[in-house]
Amino acid sequence: MKKSLFNLVVIIIGSLIVVGLSRNIIRLLKSEKKVDEARLEVTQLETEQKELVERKAYLESDEFIEEQARNKLNMSQEGEQIVILPQEIGNNHASEVTSQELPPYRQWLQVFGW
């Protein structure tokens, strides 16, 4: 009888240990998944940060400032001239030239009004 009682106690304690270990293993696997997700997010954020740093450097560069001055403010450097063609003239000439079957040099002459 003592042997069977001892075996029962050992089985109960063993079962409790197995259940406890199983819970810890499941918790560990979930934690590992969270760590992997966090690593992926860190990688994505580092990539985004790198892109933003590059964009910031471009926006602070002289090249960008010059581009904006030329495009938005119609400014130029010394010795340069700005030529602005009206849209209706460019569109009309383009349609007339393509509708006529002229050699390329004649088409260019018509575009420039010669």
pLDDT at site 99:
43
Do 54 and 101 fall into the same domain? no
Q: Are 74 and 82 in contact (CB under 8 A)?
A: yes
**pLDDT profile of the chain (114 residues), mean per 10:** 88 93 92 93 97 94 87 77 69 50 74 72
CA 12 – CA 17 distance, rounded (Å): 9
Domain that holds residue 34: 10-82
pLDDT at site 48:
97
Do 50 and 99 fall into the same domain? no
Which letter does DSSP use for residue 100 in this model?
A: S
Q: At what angle do helices 62-73 and 2-59 cross, to 10 degrees?
A: 60
Do 45 and 96 fall into the same domain? no
The answer as to whether 63 is a domain residue is yes
Do 67 and 104 fall into the same domain? no
